[in-house]
Amino acid sequence: MVWIRPANVPYPSVWHTFKAKDIDSDRLVNYVVQDLPEERFTDAVNHMLGIFIYDEPMCRAKKLAEDPASVESIRVLWQEMVKQRLVLVCFREGSDEIVGVNMTYAASKDDSKDYTPTAKLWRDVYDAVDYFYKHSQDSVLFDTVLSALGLSVSPKYRGRGIATEILRARVPLCRAVGLKQTTTIFTAPASQVAAAKVGFKETLVMRYEELAQLDPRFHFPGTENTYCKSMSLMID
């Protein structure tokens, strides 16, 4: 990952603010979506390891959380990703508790050649996602785009549209750092709905059962009747 954040873009910056229900009442309070501060790198990775790998359809189907080698492999990858200083984090105003995280990063077309997972279960998941990236390249119009490997909202903050607002923050972030497109493989129905609300367009859609027919490693039990989607948003 050789992309470097422009020096003239303040870090950490707040990219989006919005109102949503408080944690314990219907009272509307302020939330912010901002750059993940360096001192919270470990907290964000732990948030993802404690929530995302249990919720994400592919990881859940493979029971990735029960495989220490896979957990460590994805931890190492996320620890490298946060160093780009592009990860988005959501906080409730007045609290330092992590509400949600989007593991955003600057992806170049040849990135997958530089990374090979060593843990089998994580490799199965990663390779399935990488298949989608490679087969949706016609929709990637720039050498480098803002992508992501994981979007997670804390369970007690769900039902407030937080994921949609985190995705919405990608637009000002991209404008500031000079990226003209954001493209992500959305693997869960909820994240696909959130992305569509922001304006992301589908570029490759496949049922999981179709994915499994391509490679037996891409069989993710319990997902057969749902879809994996590559979705993109152009930044004006």
pTM of the model: 0.96
d(CA 195, CA 231): 8
**pLDDT by residue for the chain (236 residues), tens digit each?**
578 999 999 999 999 999 999 999 999 999 999 999 999 999 999 999 999 999 999 999 999 999 999 999 999 999 999 999 999 999 999 999 999 999 999 998 766 567 889 999 999 999 999 999 889 988 889 999 999 999 999 999 999 999 999 999 999 999 999 999 999 999 999 999 999 999 999 999 999 999 999 999 999 999 988 999 999 999 99
> How far apart, in Å, are the Cα atoms of 26 and each of 16, 21, 23, 116, 231?
21, 5, 8, 46, 32
Q: For the chain, list the domains and their CATH numbers.
A: 14-179 (3.40.630.30)
Q: Are 169 and 111 in contact (CB under 8 A)?
A: no
Task: Tell me how far apart the alpha carbons of residues 228 and 57 are, in angstroms, rounded to a whole number.
Answer: 10
Q: Tokens 């049922």 belong to which residue?
A: 207
Omega within 30 of 0 (cis) for the link into 189: no
Q: Where does residue 168 fall: left (phi above 0), alpha (psi -120 to 50 degrees), or beta otherwise?
A: alpha
